[in-house]
Amino acid sequence: ELEPYQHYMQKEIFEQPRALSDTLTDVLEISPELFGDGAYSTFKAIDSLLILACGTSYYSALVAKYWIESLAKIPVQVEIASEYRYRDSVPNPRALVITVSQSGETADTLAALRHAKSLGHQHTLSICNVATSTLVRECRHSYITRAGVEIGVASTKAFTTQLAAFFLLTLALAQTKGVLSEAQINEHLQALRHIPSAVQAVLALEPQIISWADDFARMDNALFLGRGMHYPIALEGALKLKEISYIHAEAYPAGELKHGPLALVTSQMPVVVVAPNDALLEKLKSNMQEVRARGGVLYVLADANTHIHSDKGLHAIRMPEHSGPLSPILHVIPLQLLAYHTALGKGTDVDKPRNLAKSVTVE
């Protein structure tokens, strides 16, 4: 069943157009009921969101925070499950507690949910890839992603389908709160429906990513930069690279460069920049200049219709099209491929990286 792929991770990266369209098949229109019976009254009752998760699922929640605050105008707090479960927090009974998980069995995420309930939280929702999981059973509402079974330890298709589910949630919340018109909601839904074919076009960039991976396989460190909703994508790119290629990688919001990490930049520290064509592009360009001026080598995922070209010390790959708020779903794909091909170059065990388990069911 692996044919024609060499690894499950590779298969799962290339399955993403299918996983995304399956996750959207039953969505005829935006409505709170996509999240289960009674979700309308829950969405009406809540005044904020508290999202709890681990690892890659946590990064999808970080992207969701940007979407939900900007489009649905609801305040969102995102917290790592293992932190939340053990700290004294101030519960807001009007918050909707959302847990996100591929497996639905991650020990810390389950414990965080139970902790939230013990503090009096009653509004709960899960975004999960396994309909029969403990997490789904223990949450009042849910959205089941249809990534299909994910075997590679490094999560790929689960992440992008979580993002699709979060975008649906964003639109359903905006609808319930009356902050977007039906026409605006439909426009966003159309853009989401186009995402599977947009992802397909991004996958065709693989040969260019392979040439980047040849460079990365010879490095010991890498830095990933992004701004706004692409900062979590930089975090996810760094996590993928460290997990499967064992290269030390860190991600920063690009505006933080000057506050420390710029000291690390040398010709031996490749800097990956997630550079969508958004309001922050000009700021990002000046961050890139700061890296080049110090001899750093940039690997830039430039958006369609931006004027960033390959040059001395700058390798640019141009994304096929621009997707507005959905652009994180597209920009993560080349980063998954970069980690995969770098790991191939290093000869590591891609599907079963050392020391890691697919599902972390113990603390």
Answer yes or no whether residue 101 interacts with ligand F6R by CB under 6 A. Answer: yes
- d(C-alpha 46, C-alpha 62), whole Å: 19
- Helix (H/G/I), strand (E/B), else coil: 9: helix
17, 32, 55, 296: which one binds ligand F6R (CB under 6 A):
55
Is 358 among the residues known to form the active site? yes
Q: How far is the CB of 94 from ligand F6R (least distance, A)?
A: 26
**In Å, how far from its chain's centre is CA 312?**
31
Identity (one letter) of the amino acid at 330? L
- d(C-alpha 13, C-alpha 119), whole Å: 39
Phi, psi of 28 (to 5 degrees): -85, -35
Answer yes or no whether residue 10 interacts with ligand F6R by CB under 6 A. Answer: no
DSSP state of 311: B
Find the part of the chain contacting ligand F6R (CB under 6 A) among 98-106, 118-126, 199-207, 343-351.
98-106
Q: How far is the CB of 15 from ligand F6R (least distance, A)?
A: 16
Q: How far is the CB of 222 from ligand F6R (least distance, A)?
A: 16
- At what angle are helices 231-245 and 327-346 packed, to 10 degrees? 20
82, 109, 176, 245: which one binds ligand F6R (CB under 6 A):
109
Taking each continuous run of H as one helix and of E as one strand, the counts in the chain are 13, 10
103, 126, 245, 327: which one binds ligand F6R (CB under 6 A):
103
Find the part of the chain contacting ligand F6R (CB under 6 A) among 68-76, 103-111, 227-235, 297-305.
103-111
Q: Tell which positions 147-186 bind ligand F6R, by CB under 6 A.
A: 154-155
Decide: 56 and 332 in contact? Cβ < 8 Å: no
Residues that bind ligand F6R (CB under 6 A): 54-57, 101-103, 106, 109, 154-155, 239, 243, 359-360
Task: Give me the active site residues, please.
Answer: 358
